[in-house]
A and B are shown apart, each in its own frame.
Chain A
Amino acid sequence: MKQGHHPVKKYGMAIDLDKCTGCGACMVACMSENNVPFKEDESNKLDSITWMRVYKLTNGKAYPDTEICYLPRPCQHCEGHNGHAPCVSVCPATATDYDGETGIVSQIYTRCFGCRYCMAACPYHARYFNWWDPVWPDGMEKYLSPDVSPRMRGVVEKCSLCFHRYQQARDKAIFEGRSEVAEEEYQTACAQACPAGAITFGDLNNPKHAVHQMVQPDKKHGGRPKNPKAFRLLERLGTNPKIYYLSSREWVRRAGDNYLAGGSGKKAASHG
């Protein structure tokens, strides 16, 4: 393989909320793929781990005008300003990092000492603490993914955009003498599992990738989508996330950010 300068990638997602049915297949696929531990009683969602969590949104109107939208929320892999994502800049032990080559926010489980400052910093609640040691039902440990290390009690974990899949795809490409990983070679488990095809994953910097074409990120304006149907969660906080959402419904797009009563401030990324 030729050694040389590789174009910087920015892996991200476009989630079409008009297509999402809220089935939860993405959540299940994520947990299975990444050895996410679960409790015997998962009814308390405040201390259970769901790297991918599906929220149910309503327009707040009474029947027959009620509308519902399901919003899958993985880690938003914020870039912040120059890689200073909200969580990355605060971690005292550099246990979470912004990868300049892929745009993925990593979590180094063996370095995390569980101060949870990153959790306090994340407005999306995408970070989870291992309040317990993982306990798998008898025999299930045989079905754990060998490519992802299970986490121990006392450390924080979160969505890695299935980084182990990127490593495998990159290794394969290098072995075959290629310098680039093809779009279909690196896909996250949630994107592949979604039966409605609501999740599109790829390199936001690559115009050939579907995610780029759907979102049309505007590099000059911090990656804001040019597609008027697309938006990012909490755009105006400056977290600069790489997870984009699409919806044809105005109320859904407005649910992505906070607005002052009276509309004194137009949405930072106003797209419709």
Chain B
Amino acid sequence: MDSALIPRGVKRCPIWQFALGLGIVGIVLLWGVYAMLLCWFKGLNQTNMNDYYGFALWIWADLAVIALGGGAFFTGFLRYLIGKDELKNIINFAVVIGFICYSSALLILGMDVGQPLRSWFIFWHANVHSMLTEVAFCLSCYFAVLTIEYIPLILENRRINKVPFFHNLGHNMHEVMAIFAATGAFLSFFHQGSLGGVAGVLFGRPFAVREGVLIWPWTFFLFTWSAAAYGPCFTLLVTRITEIISGKKLVKENVILLLAKISGWMIGTYILAKIIDTWYWATVTAPARGFSLMDFYSNNSLYGIWILVLEIVVCGIVPAAILMTRTGRRNPTARLVAFVLGVIGVCLNRWVMVLQTMAVPVMTFDTWQLYYPSWQEVATTILPVAYGVILIMISFRYLPIFPQEAELNPIVTSDHPIEEFVSEQLPAVAAQDLSPAES
């Protein structure tokens, strides 16, 4: 029924199966939309946020999806600016994931503010001292860049591409994509950082505050670094999930190994910086404000020192060790474990910087406050996930997201025998698997 829209040389599931999948995820999406409308029309009293938790699940989700979407800017940076040409085979998917993550972040922000119709005040009455102002400007600009990067992919759809105007537009956009990738990398470095700065500048909150350089606290640099490190993990994880669901290999091993290796080294160096930051904070920054490290990790039922160990050791050192070593990243199971741990690690870091910051009492006569989200918050946080799944489903079905898919999954037809295809293509595949990038 929709075969004319499906890219050439690839096979897709029957339309009924696709529609069924869309329908199931669509129900989840509608649940989220219903909760979103409740929040918009009835107000934020629909949430379990309170005056101690002005920032809660949504801000965590916001920071988390932006960190996970960091795979887009960093892969683009590696592909277009550093010249890692192999990554052209995964950059499309990284852009799609980035687009989903950033549009989700904007949607969540739209729900999170008390007066959404006044959101433009952030641009009109901008306070240059506020990290959130920097976030708003860079986030909006980078989302525009991601949209520009996503459009040529849409224009590559078989039917759309037949229209000469769209064909030429897509071609010309591809020609100048390096400029947008560079712009996106620049913007992303800043807004990832300013999201870190959001917590780091809170000098009234000893748990979050950090020293730094000029106007930027250390968290500014740590957030950028961690997004660049863990973002590719998420790209690779979603790629693997897509491969499992579609039942076929979509990206060649050498591409995966290259990005995994870079991600591993980035995580390794980031974790080293994070350990130094934690040590300095625990021994200098916090004591100067009258707090010991354990003040932040005791006298409550959730936030124990385990959370620091989980973030740094289990979800930092372990995935770094797996991905930095040849044997580790070549083992598909270990590699997948590393991706999952990496994704958990960066999400945990964002959770701690948002939620634990709110939970820790600062006044001596104050107490720990814990929080659990309302169903409306949960539904609206799952909403972007459902939206992302749907966009990936549609993009995967109708757009040539994975350039190597056709080559890796030859279609057997009577007029195009598999033997002929294999004889033409396999040597190239084999050669690429042993490319110098990984050897």
Contact = CB atoms under 8 A, between A and B. Distances in A.
A123 B205 contact: yes
Contact of A237 (B126, B289, B358): B289
B50 to A, nearest CB: 4
Interface stretch (B154-162, B196-204, B328-336): B196-204
A28 interface: no
B436 interface: no
Given A92-B130, A129-B51, A256-B364, A111 B121 contact: yes
Contact of A113 (B52, B119, B357, B362): B119
B51 A127 contact: yes
A150 B173 CA distance: 52
Interface in A243-261: 254-261
Interface in A189-236: 233-234, 236
Contact of B289 (A90, A154, A155, A258): A258
A128 B127 CA distance: 21
Interface string A153-173: 111100000000000000000
A153 B288 contact: no
Nearest to B109: A115
A71 B311 CA distance: 38
B416 interface: no
Q: Chain A interface secondary structure, helix, strand, loop or mixed?
A: loop
B365 A255 contact: yes
B136 interface: yes
Interface in B105-137: 112-116, 118-119, 121-122, 124-127, 129-133, 136
B55 interface: yes
B132 A130 contact: no
B113 A237 contact: no
B297 to A, nearest CB: 15
A155 B205 contact: no
A93 to B, nearest CB: 4
A121 B205 contact: yes
Contact of A258 (B113, B116, B291): B291
Contact of A236 (B45, B131, B205, B290): B290
A38 interface: no
Interface in A68-87: 71, 80, 84, 86
B404 interface: no
A241 B174 CA distance: 56
Nearest to A80: B203
B290 A119 contact: no
Size class of the A contact interface (CB-based, 8 Å): 35 or more
A255 B191 CA distance: 39
Interface residues of B, number: 50
B204 A92 contact: no
Interface in B123-181: 124-127, 129-133, 136
B55 to A, nearest CB: 5
A256 to B, nearest CB: 7
A91 B130 contact: yes
A94 interface: yes
Contact of A55 (B114, B358, B365): B365
B363 interface: yes
A93 B364 contact: no
Interface in B44-61: 44-45, 49-52, 54-55
Contacts of B366: 125
Given A113-B119, A124-B363, A255-B365, A92 B287 contact: no
Contact of A116 (B114, B287, B362, B364): B114
Given A114-B44, A132-B45, 9 more contacts: A57-B365, A92-B127, A113-B115, A124-B363, A125-B51, A127-B54, A234-B204, A257-B364, A260-B287
Interface of B: 43-45, 49-52, 54-55, 112-116, 118-119, 121-122, 124-127, 129-133, 136, 198, 201-206, 287-292, 295, 357-358, 362-366, 369
The 9 closest A-B pairs by CB, nearest first: A114-B114, A154-B114, A258-B290, A116-B54, A119-B54, A123-B204, A113-B118, A46-B50, A86-B204
8 contacts: A46-B52, A47-B45, A93-B121, A94-B126, A114-B115, A124-B204, A129-B49, A237-B203
